[in-house]
């Protein structure tokens, strides 16, 4: 039933989609009277041309890997978790509580503990929609997106009324104690003789993100639980017939998904801001959906797609700084990529399928 070869599915389709998005973006930039070649150059150099650029690109990439994995895991059980944003916010709350109220002797212990707190808090925020879906049939898309708003409201209340230092008017917690500050890539790479940018926010969380990707791969394709999740996603009734408990699988999948989304906040809250701010996930929860779609819910695909979106984010920031391109148009460019790689997938896929079918036919005729 393989209509097109694997390599075409994994490489060719996304590349052509990207190319189309790039062409339309170029037309948009041209239409507002700017030079698209200059813009591309600025984006590439700004995002990949220096360790500073890489530092920001990888910082965003780390966020997207976590949320992309979160969405992917849920996808395998055909659960559409669009609550990554809220789960990450509440995960951030867990990080802040752990980092502020417990005196940690060393960053490594703090990192372990905060990771657990972030995952548990994020998982709990995924647990409620999961229960509602599993036991009451409330659709997970609706409940998770509503829980994003509840999370934002809760976080705002906590930051403004409880955790804000009395003299500050910024709705944010106090800065975390120095013992919890994570080593950046600069600190990690210096012993290896690489002088990475000191100011870029990419930090050790990147390694945790990559570990999480390996963990998800093992979980989905190498464990019984992963098999249950996949069978439940392929056909709920068949899985149930085979003795897989749908309530249990729904809840466990959402716990894992929420935990992964929550872990994103280690990067933003502990790694970058070193305090909890409002809106710390900055939309990464939603970008995670596009990342999972583009990465075909495979951890390797998610990592690559995250890198692409990290590039778009950092490149976009450079565009905004050095060219007269308003930020709305940078969102347009990012949206075009999402549109072509996610929503308009079939537009590219079908002609390619036809092309390969024709190729095969002419091969058979000979």
Residues that bind another protein (CB under 8 A): 42, 45-46, 48-50, 53, 56, 59-60, 152-153, 155-157, 160, 166, 169-172, 175, 199, 201, 268, 272-273, 275, 277-280, 282-283, 316-317, 320-322, 326-327, 330-331
Treating both helix axes as pointing N-terminal to C-terminal, what angle do 284-294 and 299-322 enclose, rounded to 10 degrees?
Answer: 130
Q: Cβ contacts of residue 353 below 8 Å, gap of 6+?
A: 3, 4
**Nearest-approach distance from CB 233 to another protein, in angstroms:** 33
User: In whole angstroms, how close is the CB of 326 to another protein at the nearest point?
Assistant: 7
Residue count of the chain? 366
Q: Rank residues 96 and 216 by Cβ distance to another protein and give the closer one.
A: 96
How far is the C-alpha of 142 from the C-alpha of 136, rounded, in Å?
Answer: 13
Q: What's the Cα-to-Cα distance from 30 to each of 26, 322, 339, 340, rounded to whole Å?
A: 6, 16, 20, 20
CB of 186 to another protein, least distance (A): 14
Give the residue with the Cβ less far from another protein, 323 or 344: 323
Our CB check for another protein shows the closer of 14 and 86 to be 86
Of 51 and 228, the one with the shorter C-beta distance to another protein is 51
Task: Classify residue 291 by burial, with Cβ atoms within 10 Å: 0-12, 13-18, 19+.
Answer: buried
CB of 141 to another protein, least distance (A): 21
Nearer to another protein (CB atom), residue 305 or residue 317: 317
Please say which residue, 238 or 321, places its beta carbon nearer to another protein: 321
Name the β-bridge partners of 184: 203
**79 torsion bin: left (phi>0), alpha (psi -120 to 50), beta (else):** beta
Query: For residue 18, is it left (φ>0), alpha (ψ between -120 and 50) or beta?
Result: alpha
Report in angstroms how near the CB of residue 50 gets to another protein at its nearest. Answer: 5
Q: Least distance (Å) from another protein to the CB of residue 19?
A: 23
């Amino acid at each position: 039933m393989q209509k097109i070869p694997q390599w075409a599915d994994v490489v060719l389709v996304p590349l052509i989609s990207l190319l189309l998005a790039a062409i339309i973006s170029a037309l948009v930039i041209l239409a507002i009277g700017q030079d698209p070649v200059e813009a591309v150059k600025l984006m590439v150099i700004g995002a990949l041309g220096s360790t500073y650029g890489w530092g920001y690109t990888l910082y965003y990439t780390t966020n997207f890997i976590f949320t992309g994995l979160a969405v992917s895991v849920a996808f395998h059980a055909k659960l559409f978790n669009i609550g990554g944003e809220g789960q990450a916010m509440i995960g951030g709350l867990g990080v802040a509580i752990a980092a502020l109220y417990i005196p940690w002797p060393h960053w490594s212990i703090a990192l372990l503990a905060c990771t657990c707190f972030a995952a548990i808090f994020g998982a709990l925020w995924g647990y409620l929609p999961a229960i509602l879906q599993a036991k009451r049939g409330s659709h997970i898309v609706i409940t998770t997106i509503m829980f994003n708003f509840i999370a934002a409201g809760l976080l705002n209340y906590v930051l403004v009324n409880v955790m804000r230092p009395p003299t500050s008017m910024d709705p944010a917690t106090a800065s975390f104690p120095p013992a919890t500050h994570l080593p950046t890539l600069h600190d990690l790479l210096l012993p290896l003789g690489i002088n990475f940018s000191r100011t870029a926010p990419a930090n050790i969380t990147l390694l945790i993100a990559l570990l999480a990707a390996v963990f998800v791969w093992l979980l989905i394709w190498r464990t019984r639980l992963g098999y249950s999740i996949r069978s439940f996603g392929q056909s709920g009734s068949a899985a149930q017939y085979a003795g897989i408990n749908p309530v249990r699988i729904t809840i466990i999948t959402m716990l894992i998904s929420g935990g992964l989304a929550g872990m994103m906040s280690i990067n933003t809250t502990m790694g970058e801001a070193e305090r909890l701010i409002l809106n710390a996930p900055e939309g990464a929860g939603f970008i995670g959906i596009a990342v999972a779609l583009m990465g075909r819910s495979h951890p390797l695909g998610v990592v690559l797609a995250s890198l692409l979106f990290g590039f778009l984010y950092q490149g976009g920031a450079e565009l905004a700084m050095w060219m007269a391109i308003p930020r709305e148009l940078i969102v347009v460019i990012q949206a075009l990529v999402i549109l072509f790689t996610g929503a308009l997938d079939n537009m590219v896929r079908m002609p390619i399928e036809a092309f390969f079918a024709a190729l095969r036919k002419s091969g058979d005729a000979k």
